[in-house]
Amino acid sequence: MLNNRLLLAGLIGLLVSASGLSVFDNLKSAQASPSGHAPHGTVTIDGLTVPDIGPLPTSVPSPATNLTYKSKVELGKQLYFDGRLSKSGAISCAFCHNPATGFADPRQTSIGIEGGVGGRQAPTVYNTAFNHLQFWDGRARSLEEQAIGPIQNPIEMGETHENVVSKLRKIKGYQRQFLAVFGTEVNLQGLAEAIAAYERTIISTNSSFDKYVAGDVSAMDERAVRGMALFKGKARCILCHNGPNFTDNQFHNLGVPQVGPLKEDLGRYYVTKAEKDQGAFKTPTLRSMSETAPYMHDGAFKTPEEVVDFFNAGGGANQNLSPLVKPLSLTAEEKADLVAFLKALTGEPIPFQLPKIPKD
């Protein structure tokens, strides 16, 4: 798909705080409907009933104020790959959300500009269109807000928003496209909207799992089929990784060991200041997780096997550990089945070409 990683230069420490519109409440209808283990049904474990896992909706939700269409997506894609959004000119979004590594960062924690980035692992951009909240702690409500936040926050970005806008205003290719797409000169709002529109095209879907639940029983091997049953039963994964995007969009403390530059990361607590949220992080999607190592908010685990061992042990010791996490007593065989199922969630490759970024 992609081999010129040099071009995937990337920018802006995205560590934002802000608030905005919630866009995806309509998705709930895609999950609800009764009955047993059917793809659109529910699953009950220990008296707790959660939505089943199942195929993604065929249409990607987008806000009424930022409809997705081709010329906007093309513009957003150029901006996503354009290092001029950063002070050094070298760091674009793709530097940390690299298409060659599942639109995530293979580094344990991202390196940004002038130490402006915290000690967190950059999650994948795949299916962020379906997230109710963005970031590990959910501090941004929309992709638009997520993209614009760092630009408004010079401490986190290494570049001021005035500079980004004035740099891009000098580039004729951008002048022309902003006029065509938004009817304006280059501005921050348009920049955020175009990038968000592009992100809404980065979708992981049509995995072996999706084909299997759509009726192609040969799409998953026996191992993955057994892994799916464990996922929805003995291994308890579905208690949090549920619905079409394999996430409840909630925050939980798993007792993940804190590694990397931060001594402590209280996660969701920084947003809500509620004690119960100390050390709780957003349940990530598991779609295409085989492409997006390392794992967890701090990149503590390198392989799916390490993650499964961690859950099998009942998570990590933590006074705020979620009661949903328990030791699982999985056999070696069962652990391997579960990993086979996780790999069956890899979406079909999306055709990808680097954009032509306007020179001047």
> Annotated active-site positions, please?
156
**Could you write out the three-class secondary structure of the chain?**
CCCCHHHCCECCCCCCCCCCCCCCHHHHHHHCCCCCCCCCCEEEECCEEEECECCCCCCCCCCCCCCCCHHHHHHHHHHHCCHHHCCCCCECHHHHCEHHHCCECCCCCCCCCCCCCCCCCCCCCCCHHHCCCECCCCCECCHHHHHHHHHHCHHHHCCCHHHHHHHHHCCHHHHHHHHHHHCCCCCHHHHHHHHHHHHCCCCCCCCHHHHHHCCCCCCCCHHHHHHHHHHCCCCCHHHCCCECCCCCCCEECCCCCCCCCCCCCCECHHHHCCHHHCCEEECCCCCCHHHCCCECCCCCECCHHHHHHHHHCCCCCCCCCCCCCCCCCCCHHHHHHHHHHHHCCCCCCCCCCCCCCCCC
Residues 34-63 contacting ligand HEC, CB under 6 A: none
CB of 71 to ligand HEC, least distance (A): 18
Q: Segment contacting ligand HEC (CB under 6 A): 23-31, 38-46, 52-60, 125-133?
A: 125-133
Closer residue to ligand HEC in complex, CB, 146/208 = 146
Closer residue to ligand HEC in complex, CB, 72/236 = 236
Residues 158-217 contacting ligand HEC, CB under 6 A: 195
Q: How many residues does the chain have?
A: 360
Q: Does 281 bind ligand HEC (CB under 6 A)?
A: yes
Q: Does 292 bind ligand HEC (CB under 6 A)?
A: yes
Q: Does 224 bind ligand HEC (CB under 6 A)?
A: no
Q: Does 307 bind ligand HEC (CB under 6 A)?
A: yes
Q: Does 136 bind ligand HEC (CB under 6 A)?
A: yes
Q: Does 240 bind ligand HEC (CB under 6 A)?
A: yes
CB of 314 to ligand HEC, least distance (A): 10
Residues 317-356 contacting ligand HEC, CB under 6 A: 322, 324-325, 338, 342
Amino acid sitting at position 144: E
Q: Does 146 bind ligand HEC (CB under 6 A)?
A: yes
Q: Does 308 bind ligand HEC (CB under 6 A)?
A: yes
Q: Does 95 bind ligand HEC (CB under 6 A)?
A: yes
Answer for which of 134, 153, 208, 346 binds ligand HEC (CB under 6 A) is 134
The site that binds ligand HEC (CB under 6 A) totals a number of residues, namely 55
Amino acid sitting at position 168: L
Q: Does 147 bind ligand HEC (CB under 6 A)?
A: yes
Closer residue to ligand HEC in complex, CB, 99/304 = 304
CB of 50 to ligand HEC, least distance (A): 10
CB of 138 to ligand HEC, least distance (A): 8
Angle between helices 188-199 and 70-80 (to 10 degrees): 100
Task: Write each residue from 246 to 275 as x if it is in contact with ligand HEC (CB under 6 A), else as -, in one continuous string.
Answer: ------x-x-x-------------------
